[in-house]
Structure 1
Amino acid sequence: MSTYVYGIAPADRELPDAIEGIGDPPRPVRTVRGGDLVALCSDAVTEVRADRRDLLAHQHVVIEAGKEGPVLPLRFGRISPDDATVAAVLEEHHDLYTERLKALAGKDEFNLKVHHDREAVLHAVLAEDPDLMARHAADRASGGTGREERSVFDELVARAVAERERADALLVERTLSAHAAATVHGPGDTGHLVNLSFLVERERRDAFLEAVRALHQEHEHLREQVMGPLPPYSFVEEV
């Protein structure tokens, strides 16, 4: 039977009793040793689909194993032909995996997505530009009847908002990266101003979250969504 792999840990890692992995019914999780590393594994189901139940099960295994120390988490769906192949891979890439485990020790991932509150950012760009504010006041006074003037005004506002987006994206990354060991960009087509993942040392977690709150307090047009602490998937190169 094939072997499903959740992650990699030092060989002294003890799993919680009777931890369950993917599958229906769920398959028990075990360790496969190669040198002084172990892979967190279970028997592979015939076909692995990224449904909610199995995605959560995969995440649960990595989180539970990570409570006792660092785990190198693998992306969902990693299947090896058998346990012997897994053990051989652990031995072949021992130095690389050990180095990555050391880099992740005592750290968690936090994902941050930020978008603009549309009305708030419009007020912000108008307040910062006297010419735009004057144009806005003139448009309101005229009842919005000047079509050409309105078109020019809309274009100027769009440019100002776009510039604010670029400036705010840099501000968020620069501010929060100071509280993280590493930062990576997520997919850029999510519709968010910022989609960043931060690798945060656990003793600096409160400072990081406080910095997120301070950003909102100082820049009320920013809307933040923070997820974490998470296993550091974004900071694990393909293994």
Structure 2
Amino acid sequence: MSTYIYGIVGTPHPDLPDLPDGASGTDAVHGVNGIGEPPRPVRIVRRGELAALVSDAPGDLKPKRRDLLAHQDVLSEAASWGAVLPMRFGSLAPDDDAVLAVLADRADHFAERLRALEGRVEYNVKAAHNERAVLHQILAENPELRAMVEVNQLAGGGSHEQKLQLGEKVAATVRAREAGDADHVRRALEPTTEAVCAGPGETGWPADLSFLVHRDAAVGFLSAVAELRADQPHLDLQVRGSLPPYSFVDPGPDPAEPAG
């Protein structure tokens, strides 16, 4: 049976079982349950000053809501103990020995990352356009485009070619505005954070950014988000957090094969 990996923490810690070096724990970590149906008990494998939170992996592992939430819950519990390096959902190793080998091989790197992320959390911010508000702004700021719209209206909608030309002009202007707004979101929020990471491209969001925030600075960060909402009413902002710092782990060579 494969070993499912939730994340990596430092040891010793009073909330972790006291295991000898190179051993794995078979008892649940303070009753924390993991993925699967029924839920698999979470245990640790320890090597030196590092420990991985793991459980047995179900044979039919899929990104079901129940399992996604269980993965998140384990990491949230771990984050209450101290710094945690969260693994993405679906991280598997062949067995506990393979996990121990990775902890040994990457010990210095993982220890450095844990120190760097101590007391830090992640906030993800996505921004989308309120289409009606953006079109109003574009027409207000672009006399040429506004004139094209007025001509089309006077001509009863204009010819097919005129409609295409107007549509292409509007689409190009909106794309330019999206790029500018994404940069504005980043510049407005970055001063209250320690690092920023752009999300994967082609997500459909003009801005998809993850910010590393010290817990003590979280109030300031959320205040900056509120100011941005008030200053840019044409932007619909979605904020997720606080989260384990998924985007800032930098694990080096991938210690596990993603499931499915």
Q: TM-score, normalised by structure 1?
A: 0.90
Aligned to 2:184: 171
Distance 1:160 1:76, change over 3 A: closer
Deviations 1:191-224 (A, max 9, x none): 1111111111111112212222222211211111
Rounded Cα–Cα distance in structure 1 between residues aligned with 2:89 and 2:131:
36
Rounded Cα–Cα distance in structure 1 between residues aligned with 2:53 and 2:175:
46
Is it true that 1:39 corresponds to 2:80 in the alignment?
no
Aligned 8 A contact 2:123 2:212 in 1: yes
Rounded Cα–Cα distance in structure 2 between residues aligned with 1:147 and 1:45:
57
Kindly state the Cα deviation for residue 225 of structure 1 after the two structures are TM-superposed.
0.9
Kindly state the Cα deviation for residue 83 of structure 1 after the two structures are TM-superposed.
2.9
Percent identical: 48
Kindly state the Cα deviation for residue 138 of structure 1 after the two structures are TM-superposed.
4.2
Aligned to 1:123: 136
Rounded Cα–Cα distance in structure 1 between residues aligned with 2:63 and 2:142:
49
Aligned to 1:225: 238
Aligned to 2:34: 21
Aligned 8 A contact 2:8 2:84 in 1: yes
SS class of match (2:89): coil
Is it true that 1:156 corresponds to 2:169 in the alignment?
yes
Moved more, 54-63 or 72-81: 72-81
SS class of match (1:67): helix
Alignment gaps of 5+ in structure 1: none
Aligned to 2:3: 3
Kindly state the Cα deviation for residue 126 of structure 1 after the two structures are TM-superposed.
1.0
Rounded Cα–Cα distance in structure 1 between residues aligned with 2:187 and 2:223:
15
The aligned length equals 239
Q: Which amino acid aligns with 1:122?
A: L
Rounded Cα–Cα distance in structure 2 between residues aligned with 1:94 and 1:148:
64
Distance 1:90 1:125, change over 3 A: same
Kindly state the Cα deviation for residue 106 of structure 1 after the two structures are TM-superposed.
0.9
Deviations 1:110-155 (A, max 9, x none): 1111111111111101111233334434443454346555544433
Aligned to 2:145: 132
Distance 1:143 1:93, change over 3 A: same
Q: TM-score, normalised by structure 2?
A: 0.83
Distance 1:150 1:44, change over 3 A: closer
Rounded Cα–Cα distance in structure 2 between residues aligned with 1:6 and 1:118:
40
Aligned to 2:92: 79
Rounded Cα–Cα distance in structure 1 between residues aligned with 2:94 and 2:161:
68
Is it true that 1:184 corresponds to 2:208 in the alignment?
no
Alignment gaps of 5+ in structure 2: 17-28, 256-260
Aligned 8 A contact 2:151 2:158 in 1: no
Q: Which amino acid aligns with 1:44?
A: A
Kindly state the Cα deviation for residue 190 of structure 1 after the two structures are TM-superposed.
1.7
Mapping for residues 49-68 of structure 1, pairs under 5 Å: 49-68=62-81
Rounded Cα–Cα distance in structure 1 between residues aligned with 2:158 and 2:67:
58
The root-mean-square deviation of aligned C-alpha atoms, in Å, is 2.1
Please list every run of at least 4 consecutive aligned residues from structure 1 whose deviation after the TM superposition is greater than 6 angstroms: none
